[in-house]
Every structure is written in C-alpha cells, then in structure tokens.
Structure 1
Amino acid sequence: MDQIPQPASIDDIENLVESLYQPNSPAVVSRIQESLQRLQKSPDGWQIADALLARSSDNVKFFGALTFVVKLNTDTIDDEEAKLLIQKLINWLVVSLDNGAGSIVIRKLCSALVTHYVHFSHLWPLCIRGLVYCLDLNKGDVLDDAQDAAPVRDIFPSLTPQKAISVAWFAAALAEEGEKIDSRSSKYIALHERLVRNSQDVATIVAVSLSGSAGPRVQRDAIDALHDWMTYGERVPNDQLTANLRPLLRPTIECLAVDDIYEAAIEILTDSLNNWQNFFAQDDYDLLYSLFDSDWSQKRYQELTQGDFDFSSVKFGLLMIAFGDAQITELLDPSNERAQRFLAGLLGLLAAQGHLVAEDKIFVPALDFWATLIESMTDNLFSEPDQPVNWSIPPLSYLMQVVSHCWRKIQYPHISVYNAWDSTERVGFGDARKDVSDLLQTMYTLAGESLISVFADLTTQSLSATSWAELEAAAFCLGSLSDCLPDNDSCDAVLSKVFGSQLFDLLRQGQSVVPVRTRQTCLSLIERYSDYFVRRAEFLPAALNLLFGALNESHLAGPSAKSIYRLCSSCRAILTPEVGAFLDQYGVIRNSVPMDSLTEERIVSAIASIIQAVPEEPQRLGAFRQLLVVIASDIEKAIQLKSMPESFMMEPNDPTVIQSFDSNQRPTQQVPGHEVALQVAVRSLRCLLGAAKGLQSPSDSPINLDADESSMTAKTSPELEQLQISIMNVLAQIKATFPDSLQVMTDINHVVRAGFSETEPGPFVFPPQLVIDLLTSPWHVAAPTAVNTAQVFLSYVHNGNYRGQMRQVIDQLLPWVISYIGMLGHPSNDPELAQFSIEFIQKAIQRCPDVLSRVQPQSNAGYIFTFAIEMLNGKEPLPKAAAADFWTSFITLKTDDESTQSTITGAMNQFGPVLAQSLIHNVGGNAARSELDKLSDPLKKLVFQNANARQWLEAALNDDSFPSDKVSPAEKALFLKKITSLRGSRATNQVVKEFWVSCRGTGLGYTS
C-alpha cells in the first residue's frame, strides 16, 4: 500500500486536509488520516494549527482548531504558555466570527477553549465572563481584565447574535465535558467547583437570551446550553448549581408557546421531568398544570389525539407523559381535581386515532406510563389493605377505560393495510401487543377475576357479532391472563361462557368463515387454559376434536399440535381410557395429512403423555409398544433407503418424500434416496425423543422419598426390560447406518438423556449397562456430545437408584474418555471435546477418588493431569474454565482411604509446580481479564491447602518464562506476600486483578 508523502509546506497540508473531503476509497482515507495525525502530534503541531486557522477554507480551519485540541490533550505546556494560548484561541474565535466562518469552525474553536479550560481552569476560573468580555471588546489579550469588568448581564446584550450564539456553544460544550469528568477524583475537585461558579453566568446568558429580542436562533442555542447544564447538574449534584439554574424553568416553560423555539424548550422540559424531577419546585409544577389547562395545550392535545403524529405533536404527548411520571403521587390522589383532570388527558392518549405503531406513535409511551401508574396503585393498596377501594371514582375508575382502549388499539387492521406495513412496523405492532399483555397481567393484581369476565364477555359478544378483529383481540387479552388465575375453579363459570359457546363450532368451519389469525389466537386459548379442561372434562372432547381437525391446515398445524400436547399432558389422567383412540387417530393422520417434523413430534409427545398416566403396567407398556412400532417402522424404512445404490432417485410426489420433508423444504425435483433416508431417520428420532419427553413424569407428581435401588429393580419387569433393549437396538441400528450425520448422533444423545431426570422405571429409564454399551461404541462425529452425555450420566447414576453401580460405570467409561483425549493430542485440536472430557474426569474422580490408582496403563493417569495443564495454558475460555474447575476440585480432594490419599498427594507433589507456573503465567498477563475470577479459584485453594504452594509460586514468579517484563521482582514478591497472607479469601481475586493489570500495563486498568 502506497504511503502518503509527508507534506513539505502549509499548502501541502491544506491540500491533504481538503483531500479528506474528496471521494476516496476507505484505504486512502485511512492513510490520509494517519498522515494528518502524525502532523498533529509532531512538535510543529502548534504552528500548523495556527497556520491552518489563517486559511480561507472552513474544512482547513476546522482541522486547525482540532489540532489545538489534540495538542492540548497530548503535549505538556506551562502556565505562561497556556496564558498565551488562551489569548490566541480567543483571538482566532473573534477573527473567525468577523470573517463569517462556518459553524463547524466556531464550534471546534469553542471545543478547543473548553479543552484548555479543563487543563488550565485556574488561569481563567470565570471562563463564561471572560469570554463574553473578550468578545465584546473583540480581542483576547484583555482576559485578565474580565474579573473587574461589568457584570455579564450588562455586557452580554450588546453582543451580536453570532457572538451570543458562540458563547452559548461554549457554555454547552463546557457542561458536556464536565459531565464526562469523574467528580469523585481529587484531581478534578477544583475544576468542578469552578464549573459551579460559572453556572451563575450561564444562567445569566440564558435568562437574557430568553427575555430580550435576541431572536429565535440565539434563544434555541441558549436553551440547548441550559439543557446541557441541567444534565451536568443532574449527574454532578450541587445545591448552588441547582439554585442558579432553577429560576430559568419558568421562562423555558413560557417558550413552549413560541413556535420557533418550541422544540428546544419541550426537549429540555421532557428530559428534565424524566431524569431530574427534584429540580422542579412546586411553583414550576403549578405552572405546568396551568399550561396543560390552557387553550394552547388543548389545541395541541386535540391535534395529537385526532391523528396528527408529526414530530412536534408527538413531543407534546411525551411531555404530558413525562409530567405524569413526575406527578404519580398526585395522580393517585382522588381528591386532587386538577391531577385527575390531567390524568383523564393521559387516558385519552391511549385512544388516539390511527393504527398502532405504524401511525400512532404515542400509544406505546402512554402504555408504559399507565403500567407504572397501575404498579403504584397496587403498591398503595397493598400497603394500606384496610382502606376501602372505590372503583367508581378516579383514578381507579379509569382503569377499565384503559382496558377498553388497549383492546381496541391492538386489533389487527384489514389484511391489506397490515401487508402494506414494513417489517419494523409489524414487529413494533407485535411488541406493543406484548406490552398490553404485560399491563393486563399487572392490572389483574388490582382487578382480579372481574378482568377475566370483561374479556370473556368481549369474546362472546364479538363472536355473536362475527367481528373477527375484535374477537381476536379479546381472545388475545383473555389468553394473556391465563397465568394469573389461581389454581382453583373460581373462574370456571366465566370461562365456560367462552368454551361452552358456539366458539368451537364456528372455528371448525375453516378460514372461509373465520380468518386464520383469529382462529390461531382462539385455538391458543385451549392450550393456555388447559387446567380448566382438567376440571371441566365435558368440554375436552370438543376441544381436542377441533385441534386435531386443525392439523389439516398448514397455518394452524404447528400451533394446534402444541395445544394438543399441552392439553393431553395436563389432562392425561382423564384421557387414559381413550389411549387406543389416540393411537388410531395418529395412524389416520400419518396416512392422510403431511405433517411437519415438529408437529408430528408434539403429537407423539401428547400420546405418550397419556400412555404415561395409564395405571396398569401391562396396558401402559402395550400402548407404548404400539407407538414404538410405528416409529421403528420409519427407522427401518430409513435403513432400507440408505442401503439403496447412490444413484437411486425418488420422485417429489412419492409419499415417503412428502412425509419426510417439512412443507417449506419439500423438493420439486427428483431427490437422491440417501437424502430421503436421512430425513426419515432424523424425523423418526425426533418422534422417539417426543415419546421420551411425553413419558416423563409430570413435575407435580409425588416423589417417593423412600425409594432405593432394590425397589427400582423389583419394579422393572421383563416386559419393560425388553422394551428398553428394543429402543437401544433401534438407536444402535440408526447410529451404525448414519455414522457421519451430526444431527442423527446429536438426536440419539438427546433420546438417551431423556430418562436421566426420571426416578421411576420407564422405557427410557435405561439400566446403566445399556447406556454404557451405546456410549462406548464408535462415534465418527459428535464425540463431544457423547462425552457430555456420559458426564450427565454420572450425575444420573449418582443421584438415582443405581448409585451402587457407580464404580463399575466409571471403570468402563473413564478409559473410553481417556482414549479420546489421547487421540486429541492437544486440547486446541477440539476444545469442546477437551472441555467435556475434563469435566467428566473431574466428576469421576470426585465420585470415586480411588479410580486414579486403577487407571491402566498407569501412565494414563499422569496424562490426565498434563492434559488439564495444557487446557489451563490454552486460549479457549470454556476449556480453560473447565480445567480451572478440575484443579480446584483436585486440590481439595480428600478420602479416608490411605492408599488413595497417598496417590492424590503424590500427583499433587508431581504436578503442583507445573500447576503453579500455569496459574502464575495466566495471572501474569496470559489470561483474559474475564477469566481471572475463575483462575483465582485453584490459586486460592492451592495457597490454602498445600504447604508447598508458596515455594512453587515463588519459583514460577521468578522463572525466566514469566510472561511480563512490566513488573519488578519487588512487585512479584509483594503479590506473593498478599495472596499467601490472604489464605484463599475472596480478597485474593482483587489482588490477582491488580497484578494482572500491572503485568499487562496500566493502560488496561479499568474498573471491574
């Protein structure tokens, strides 16, 4: 890449600056910027800045002013030089104003003046006064006389509008910079004190600008400066600053009625009401109440609610909302008439004309306000439970109107309107509906079951009127409240109005009568209120028939299958007599309706959940065997297709092809048979997984605390054992047939794990040996997943009914895992496999510490520790964290068996020095900062548990391989002294972080 020639003159520099603004490639722009930055930081930078400000181009002048900023931040100058510089900068500001320089030049010169003030505020503490005085006299060398000059109030009105604006820009930049500077740092205490002193002059220039005839531009910039100073005052609280600025609120409020400065005024008031409510005195709030009662305000409000959502109109609504947030306490007082009058206005914002989000921009902010208000109402009512609740007077009487407005607002528009929206508007509409759902759930705490009645009535009324958009919105709101209901039948009578109505009959008529979206939302009610159907079983057949019928429609199949699963799972005990009918229905659907994979998985899960509830084992196992036969036949089909020649092709209309692919993936041309085979295999495994999930015991089922291994063994019948073997044979077959499919291997592992959470015997609660045989068979792909399954399996064995077999399980699985890390060679070759392997080994050693002495050959035991050290030295965060956990666990490992303890101690003595070196190298700069807490754990345990720790750590710190040259031997010794004296306490973490920062270099030190 060609370098930019070093400019030899000011003309060359000017040309280089101008070239930045010409069309160039990013690479050329980058090289130009690098060249200019070198010039800025060079010793000649001061002179270059001066010379460039004398040029005619605003772009070049801007760069000259910017160079002064760079030099002030990078070079060191004494006070005498700084005094001359401030005079020069003010002179350049005067000249630039006189010459009509552009705003980018004036603003950057103001920025340079602010940068100077940050570094040298002691040279001109009253900077606002000094700048006004110098601009009035048109010279910078009179700054020292400003302290004795007339007050700012007398001088400022005589400035030209351009000069007044530049003062406002300087004041604004001063506050912005002050906000960034840490007010708690002793280095900047004096600076912040001087800024507070200047706030009086800032208040003066704002007051003069707003009260005089300065013109709208000066007034806008003055208000913007005030905005920045109020933001500074909020972030850096000071009573004097507040007292200086507070009198400006009234004139700012009065500016709202002036069109030319309306936007600046409303911005500052809204922001301050949102962020600094204590800044407003009661008189200010009274004035705002009067403002909102004025004709001007009523006109603005009417325009907004009638559908005028331009910028200024929406800003007015946001001001109302900010004021409402600041007056929550008053708005909750029923006796405060003006507050309730204002609250009625906020209620009206929810009913503004226009479609939500796409047109109406005020509904969502207004909704947020009402959510906050309702939460405050709830807190008040619960804090005073003995106080009577009167729903007939505001503010409580407004809540049902809030509900009504929300229900109307979230109704979907005509499909042609909705389709015309862009993706952002559609997403926003959906998000707003979710916000309404959240508000209704909050409101349920106040309104209780009456809210259910409201939406049940709206549902039935909309149904009778065949108002589909209203019906959909009512069903959506009713569904939103499902999780709020108590676990009893208190609302069943109300819900029966809905589920006992003509709703199901109408929904069965299809989309030619009821729009798809309305049907989807209404069908979801069945899922959301599945507990209702447990209590009111008379409505269950109609609900299930409706849902199964909806499987024929692609738009409804997925949601309907989800509802079927939820309903069957909840009502499993009721449905057990019909398990045969469900199995038959599944067969009919498979042969007549092409289902997507997820849909079929959910149907299988639903049927399996009913099977799980069948009380008699023979009938239960018989029903499951029927289901398994269907799934196994598909797997057999997959195996047969896989055995066909590579050239075997299938037509897209072949029933097997149609059933194998989801609707959005179905091929339109011939497809190779082996691809179809894989699709069938994956779908079958997902169905098998669905069956396993369905057979899991409900989370609310009773737990037998007295169960033990013998009881488990006694209850495992030969029929169940045969089923388990059959399932494992199916998994082994499909594993052998599709050894290179990551998806197949992953799904096999998921099926195996499905029974690990169970405590009762079942088809997927496999005895350990079956799991071991499958896991230790070859894995061409997905080895990390298999090892992770083995790790979870150890917990299953330890916590379940096979704990007595833990030793045999580990003895068979540990060599298998060690063989993988042996094949890896280095953790970086497969970080995921390395991580899961060391996590398995850690868990195995914790469960059976004596396993180390049984590892054959014995050298493999040593290889485990070497591998764990390599992981600790690596760059991958998850394997490194796993290795840190391994060493933390091993350092603290204790056992009563003397021989085993001797083996542990020997291993620690052998690998302790290497471990210490690895930890020291990590905290000495090799680790990422985010890893330090995790790495501190083994370091703390080592210091606390092992008498040799200090010696090992000292050797590591002083070794030539230590990664940093930025810490001295004394600093290393101090670090060692600190961590050893802390003896593994939590404070070690902070010491480690500080040492790491020192080793990396202070530039990386940041607050953790």
Structure 2
Amino acid sequence: MAITPGQDVKTTEEGVKCFQSWVMYAHRAWIDKALELQPLRPLTHLAIQALHHEDLFDVTVDLFTDVLINFSAFLTAGDLESLSTVLASTRARQIVSGLKRGHYDTEAISFARFLLAYGDAFVQDLAKKVEDPLLSQIVHQLLELLRCEGYAGVEDEICAQAIEFWMTYTEFLIDSLFAAGEEKPVWMDMARQRVVEVIEASWVKVRMPAGELAASWDSDARAGFKAFRADVRDLLQSSYTLLGVDIFEKLAQLALQSLESRAWLHLEATLFCLNALSDSISDEDSVDAMLCRLFGSSLFADMSSTGEPIPAKTRQTAMNMITEYTAFFERHVEYLPAMLNFLFESLKAPALAGVAAKAILSSCSSCRQNLIPELGAFLQQYEVLLTWATAEVYTKEKVIGGIAAIIQAIPRDEDKYGPLSTLIQFIDRDVSDCIKFMEASQAEKFQSSGICALKCLASMGKALQAPDDAFIDLDADAPQSAFWAEGQGASLQAKVVQMMETVTSLMRWNSDVVEAGCQILKSGYKESAPGLFVFPPEVTVDLVLASKLDTARLDYVLDTACAMLNRHVHEPETTIKSAASALMNNLLGIIHLMGGEPSSDPEVASSGIDLADKMVPHYLDCMMSAHNVQRLFDFTLKGLTAAEIMPKRTAAHFWATFVQNYEVSGDVAIFVGAVTQRYGPQLCHILVRNIGGEAARSELDVLAEPLKKLVFAQPQAKVWLSNALSSEDFPSQKVGSTEKRVWLQKILNLRGAKGTNAAVKDFWMACRGREFAYAS
C-alpha cells in the first residue's frame, strides 16, 4: 500500500479497502480469541502514510474512522502517535478552519468524523494528558468543531456530533471526580476549563435565527436545530455537577448584559441555558441573589413592552423560566406582581398565550397561599380574557386551573363558595354556547364549546386537589365540614354534575369530551375530605351506564369505574355495594354486545376484565348476584387465548386474583368454590396449552402468575394440570410423558415461588424443540 512515484493510485485505494475488510473480520475473530492480530498490524503504518496522499485521503480516513469507532484496540501506541500527528497537523488545522467558515465539503466532513472518532476512542487521554502538545491541539480542534458557521442541524452537519463527544468528555470528568474522592486530580482544573469553553461555544450555537430565516426552514431543519438545543440542555445539566454554581452565575450575568444591550436573541439563548439548570441548582444564597438581580431587573417590564419588536421566542423562553423557577417566587413573593402582569399581558398575543397560560397555572399553583388577597383581581382578569381572540380551550383551562389553585388555599369551605361559583358561571357560558351552536347546526363551534367546558372543569378539579405536601393533622378529631353535602355547596356540586352530564350526553362519540368527563370524576377520587369535585359514587355509575359500545374511549370510562371502586374499597356501605352491582351488570351487558369475544375490541376487553378484577374480593357478592355472570368467566378465559397482549395480561391477572383463598363465608364462599370447580380445569387446560408452545415467550411471565396462585391455593390443581398435560390437543410433540411429569412435579414443589417463572420458560423452550432443563 505504500505510495511510490508512478504507482497506480487505484490499486493502492483497493488495497486500503481490502485492509479495512480484513481488520473488521479480525475484530470478530479477535473477540472469539481465534486470531492473532500481529500479521495485520504492520500494514497500519502503510495505511497511515496514505492519509498524506490527496487522492487517497477519503478512503483512508474512512478506514481509520471505522477502526476507531469499532476496533480501537487494533491500533498500537505507535499508530496512535502517528494518528495524533496527522490530527494536529497544519493540514488538519486548515480543514477545521474551513469548517468554521462554513465549507462543508466531503473531505472536511470525513475529516471531522475521523477527529470525533479519535476523540471518542481516547477521551481519557485527551482529558488527562493536558500537558501533551499533540493531544492539546486535538482537543482544541474538537472545540473548534462547535464554532463552525451555520445553524446546528441545518447548515452545520458536524456540531450535533461534536456536542455528543463533549458530553462523553464531561461525563468522564464527573466519574473521575467522584472516584478521586477528596484528592482532586492535577489535570482536573484544565479539563474543567475546557468544559467552560464548550458551554460558551454552545451558547452561541443555540441562538435562534431571525424570524424570516426561521420561517424558511423546513420541518427537518427545525427538528435538527431543536434536537441540538436539547443536547446542549443535557450537557448543561451534566456540567453543573462539575462546574457548580459558577456556571449559573456566569450565565445569569450574561443575561443581564444581554438585557442591558437589548440583544434579544442573545438573551433568549442565555435564558434557555438557565432553564436547563433549574433542576440542578441548589437553594444556595448566591443562586437566589443572582435570580433576584435578574427578576428584579427590567426583564418583565421589557418583555411586556409593545414599543419594541422583541422576538416571540425570547418572550416564550422568559415565560418558561418562570415555570422552571416557581420555587424562587415562593421564597420571594415581592417579584410576583411584575411577573404576573407580564404573563397576563402576554395572554393577548396568539403566539404567547399558550405558554403564558401554562406559566400562570404553574405560578398560581406554587404561590397559591400568597395570592389569596389578589383572587378578585384574577377573576376580573379572566373575565377580560374571555373577550380576547386568544381565549381558546388551552388558554382558558390553564388560567382557570390557576385561579382554582388559589381558591383551594382558602381555609374555610364557606369562603370558597363565592369565587368557585363565579368560575362555574364562566364555564356555564361555554355549556350554553355548546347547546346554542348545536341547535344552529354549527358543528365546529358546538364541539369546541363543549370540549372547552369540560376541560375547564377538569382543570378546576385537578387544581382544587389538596397539594401533595399539604399538612395533615393526624391527631385532629374535629368533624369534617358538611358544606358540600347540603345547602350552597351541594347545589354548586349539582351544577357541576349537570354541566358534565349535559355535554357528555350530547357528544359521547367525541373522545376529548369523554376523557375530560372521566378526568372530572377522577379529580375527586384522591381526596380524603369532602369538596366540590368529590362526588358520590352514583355520579360515576351514571356516566358508565350511559356509555354504550360505540361510546368513544369506552376503555377509559371503564378504567374510571375501576378507579372509583379502588377509592371506596375500604368503605363497604350500601351505596358502594349498589354501585358495584350496577357496574357489574353493565359490564356483562358490554360483554354480550361484544359477542363474548375479547378480540373484537382488545382495549375495551382489557379494561372490562380489569374492572371485574377490582370486584375481587371486596365485591364478590355483587358478582355473585349478577345475571348471567358466567359470561364474565367465559370471556376472561377467552382473553387468555387472545392474540392481543392487553386482554391476555388482564385476564391472567384476574384469574391470579380470583383463585386465591379469601376469608369469605356463606353464599359467597359457595359461589367462589363453585366457580373454581367449574372453571379450574378449563383454566389449567388453557394455561398448559399456552405454556406448551402456543404463547409468545414475552407472555410467559404473565401466564405464570395464575399458575403460581392456582398451585398454591387449590389442591385440585395437580389433577387439573395433569389432565391438561395428557390431553390429546397438547400443542407440542417435542416433550414426552416423562418430561411433562417432571415439569409438573417441579411446579408443585415450587408452590408459587419465584422459580416458577424459570420453570415455565424452560418447559416452553422444550416444547419449542430446545433442551428440557428438568429432564432426568
């Protein structure tokens, strides 16, 4: 492969390609310890010489990029030194310089990938050997790849790959720092300084383009640039462990400088970087001090200004920063007025309204206690919002959720009535509009109004939930307020139910409406005290009973019924039993309409079986008294043979639950025993056929669960399983009676232990023609 005067370049090129193929073959053989590398290694030096020949550069760079990525162990110390010389050469600097000016030709791209492959393969040496001039030059070249002209993922094809290398570099430094303990490596300070330079270069690359340029990008360009910004965010989050609060303070200072100079796109890039650090920073005083300077500056006033053409993206990123740093505003309520004024002013702009509404919800949820005195102003502002063109579904539901969060913080239920009533009146306008548009045959407005009403109610319900960190006095013995059970509270709750039922009855075919209706119901399930959205069980039952097989998201409706039963599982009052009976009978009706076939609608079947599962053991009497309850058991057995995993999974869980021994007596005990005796043999037959080869391997753990419970709880299981194994329709001829008997004894001895899963998999493999682990 050596190049000599007059030699055919094409021949040498083919030699390089042949050498590449042999090296890649040697990699596999070397892993298997079946080949010595020494016969090939002397040729590497000749290949490196070819890197200096212009006509062979591309093919040789491809060779070494491939080797560095897949088989760097092939290269000797001498090879690495030679490659280092190439990567730090004058020609290498010229290529990288061209990349920085935007010259993305084939040679330059190939060289950049070669450089990055070297960096990935020897990142430890690049980090540690800070005094090595060749390696330092290579590190500098790698850093220069982040400074290339053009937008990442659009014109700049290399920057995204470069940021991946620097992420690897940073992670290595972090690992080294933790491994070193108290003794910091001598090379660490220089290596950390390089990460600072990487962040400075990345800050430039994440700047948004001017509006006209951004508008000219296609979807691929936008996705590429967005992906690069996400990579930079990940790098920033990792780097905080290494750089600490210094990097936060540096960025915050940069934001203030950009604000002062009115450099709006620079400001957006800086705020984007600060947002990336929100989950990493601690509550150090220095962090709060810098945030006070930033949020106490003209930031919110400038962002609210209509006199200067500030890019919408800059305003949006400022709003995102409010959402990311809500904990700061909890500690420093003095900045709330300016911040909220900015957000509400932004609701007027179509490009900003959605982000502003999200930030309002986040701020109100976090600072609810401090905002109670301003509740009246919030209600007035919402009424003004209804007159704006930006009063769309998303905006309204987020803002109304924020206001409801403030109401939740009011201590007395009686004092909540007034503001809640006002919010309900606002939402009732959408319900009235829904009916009006339906009567006028304005389909689009009809749907939009109905969806808006229910999503706003769902947002209210979620916001009115007690915060997860709310204080609960376990020693308090004062009776709970009866406000929501009678009088004004009860009438307001009835109004909510009426609004929900009105819209859902008109649009049961609309999945958004059905999902929002279910979310309204679910919002009260987690509450331990009475409230506006803590409905009696019959409200959920009415929604379920009104749903038919053609109702949109019927599976979600059934899941909601499951959640309701879980909520009241420890409250076996007559009303709950009545609700459970109604739900059971309704489920049997749905099964009948499905023709008893789970595969006709796997999602509905799965949710229906899950609902039946929730009946055990607390509502077994409701199951027992249901008409044609055998439909349920037949349906669940068919679920075990379904091709779809969802009904198979829930059916397996149902039987794993049902076959256990419960402390029941009387008619319920007789019912459970009769069902077990009738369906136990069929259950065993289906499980054995599945485990005997019909099931997919991924389904075996699911099917092992009812088998474990059955063997542990039911003495008859041995006979049932033995009969199933000796059945003529056993699906495999790969195992004989001896293997079956050994496997059954293994299962019986395990008695539900974890080893059952392994035994099931081994038997399945044997039935598929592989070695049977338990044969003797």
What TM-score does the superposition give when structure 1 sets the normalisation length?
0.71
Q: Equivalent residue for 1:404?
A: 200
Gap change, CA 1:910 and 1:520, over 3 Å in 2? same
State the alpha-carbon separation in 2 of the partners of residues 448 and 492 from structure 1.
14
Q: Equivalent residue for 2:774?
A: none
Cα deviation, residue 829, structure 1:
3.7
Gap change, CA 1:759 and 1:255, over 3 Å in 2? farther
Q: Equivalent residue for 2:471?
A: 702
1:523 aligns with 2:319: yes
State the alpha-carbon separation in 2 of the partners of residues 370 and 466 from structure 1.
31
Gap change, CA 1:452 and 1:481, over 3 Å in 2? same
Q: Equivalent residue for 1:619?
A: 415
AA partner of residue 751 (structure 1): I
State the alpha-carbon separation in 1 of the partners of residues 264 and 149 from structure 2.
20
Q: Secondary structure at the match of 1:484?
A: coil
Cα deviation, residue 584, structure 1:
1.0
Which of 15, 22, 42 in structure 2 is aligned with 1:247? 42
Cα deviation, residue 401, structure 1:
1.8
Which of 475, 493, 498 in structure 2 is aligned with 1:724? 493
Gap change, CA 1:707 and 1:235, over 3 Å in 2? farther
Cα deviation, residue 552, structure 1:
1.2
Q: Equivalent residue for 1:437?
A: 233
State the alpha-carbon separation in 1 of the partners of residues 531 and 187 from structure 2.
55
State the alpha-carbon separation in 1 of the partners of residues 723 and 256 from structure 2.
81
Q: Equivalent residue for 1:913?
A: 681
Q: How many residues align?
A: 764
Contact 2:100 2:147 in 1 (8 A): yes
Higher relative contact order (CA 8 A, sep 6+): 2
What percent of counterpart residues are identical?
33
Gap change, CA 1:893 and 1:487, over 3 Å in 2? farther
Cα deviation, residue 611, structure 1:
0.9
Q: Equivalent residue for 2:562?
A: 791
Q: Equivalent residue for 1:218?
A: 11
Cα deviation, residue 809, structure 1:
4.1
Q: Please list, as runs of the form range in 1=range in 2, the aligned pairs for 1:254-333 lying within 5 A after superposition.
A: 254-333=49-128
Gap change, CA 1:681 and 1:577, over 3 Å in 2? same
AA partner of residue 606 (structure 2): Q
Q: Equivalent residue for 2:618?
A: 847
AA partner of residue 530 (structure 1): T
Range with greater deviation from structure 2 (456-465 or 414-423): 414-423
Q: Equivalent residue for 2:588?
A: 818
Cα deviation, residue 572, structure 1:
1.0
Q: Secondary structure at the match of 1:332?
A: helix
Gap change, CA 1:488 and 1:802, over 3 Å in 2? farther
Gap change, CA 1:266 and 1:675, over 3 Å in 2? closer
State the alpha-carbon separation in 2 of the partners of residues 760 and 244 from structure 1.
79
Cα deviation, residue 968, structure 1:
5.6
Q: Equivalent residue for 2:275?
A: 479
Q: Equivalent residue for 1:232?
A: 25
1:636 aligns with 2:432: yes
Cα deviation, residue 585, structure 1:
0.7
Cα deviation, residue 975, structure 1:
5.1
Cα deviation, residue 301, structure 1:
3.2
Question: What do the CA deviations read for 1:277-309 (whole angstroms, capped 9, x no partner)?
Answer: 333332222222233333333333333333322
Gap change, CA 1:561 and 1:961, over 3 Å in 2? same
Q: Secondary structure at the match of 2:655?
A: helix
Cα deviation, residue 955, structure 1:
2.7
Q: Equivalent residue for 2:255?
A: 459
State the alpha-carbon separation in 2 of the partners of residues 716 and 341 from structure 1.
73
Cα deviation, residue 694, structure 1:
1.6
Gap change, CA 1:991 and 1:209, over 3 Å in 2? farther
Cα deviation, residue 468, structure 1:
2.4
State the alpha-carbon separation in 2 of the partners of residues 348 and 742 from structure 1.
52
Q: Which has the larger radius of gyration?
A: 1
Q: Equivalent residue for 1:678?
A: 447
Range with greater deviation from structure 2 (445-454 or 808-817): 808-817
Q: Equivalent residue for 2:355?
A: 559
- Structure 1, unaligned stretches of length 5 or more? 1-207, 649-671, 1003-1008
State the alpha-carbon separation in 1 of the partners of residues 573 and 97 from structure 2.
74
State the alpha-carbon separation in 2 of the partners of residues 997 and 234 from structure 1.
32
State the alpha-carbon separation in 2 of the partners of residues 355 and 774 from structure 1.
53
State the alpha-carbon separation in 1 of the partners of residues 329 and 132 from structure 2.
47
Contact 1:331 1:343 in 2 (8 A): yes
AA partner of residue 498 (structure 1): L
Cα deviation, residue 405, structure 1:
0.9
Contact 2:617 2:662 in 1 (8 A): no
Question: What do the CA deviations read for 1:813-858 (whole angstroms, capped 9, x no partner)?
Answer: 32333333244331334333322222111111133444444x144x
AA partner of residue 57 (structure 2): Y
Gap change, CA 1:284 and 1:830, over 3 Å in 2? closer
Q: Equivalent residue for 2:145?
A: 349
Contact 1:924 1:962 in 2 (8 A): yes
Question: What do the CA deviations read for 1:18-54 (whole angstroms, capped 9, x no partner)?
Answer: xxxxxxxxxxxxxxxxxxxxxxxxxxxxxxxxxxxxx
Gap change, CA 1:705 and 1:240, over 3 Å in 2? farther
Q: Equivalent residue for 2:713?
A: 945
State the alpha-carbon separation in 2 of the partners of residues 391 and 290 from structure 1.
22
Gap change, CA 1:225 and 1:711, over 3 Å in 2? farther
Q: Equivalent residue for 2:773?
A: none
What TM-score does the superposition give when structure 2 sets the normalisation length?
0.90
Range with greater deviation from structure 2 (231-240 or 742-751): 231-240
Question: What do the CA deviations read for 1:765-798 (whole angstroms, capped 9, x no partner)?
Answer: 2233443344334546244332221111111123
Cα deviation, residue 737, structure 1:
3.8
State the alpha-carbon separation in 1 of the partners of residues 40 and 759 from structure 2.
45
State the alpha-carbon separation in 2 of the partners of residues 390 and 408 from structure 1.
30
Question: What do the CA deviations read for 1:309-359 (whole angstroms, capped 9, x no partner)?
Answer: 222212222222222223322233365332333322222221123332322
Cα deviation, residue 431, structure 1:
0.8
1:923 aligns with 2:691: yes
Question: What do the CA deviations read for 1:711-763 (whole angstroms, capped 9, x no partner)?
Answer: 55767563433332222222223333445544433321121112222233321
1:836 aligns with 2:631: no
Cα deviation, residue 886, structure 1:
0.8
Q: Equivalent residue for 1:746?
A: 515
Q: Equivalent residue for 1:106?
A: none
Cα deviation, residue 918, structure 1:
1.8
1:546 aligns with 2:342: yes
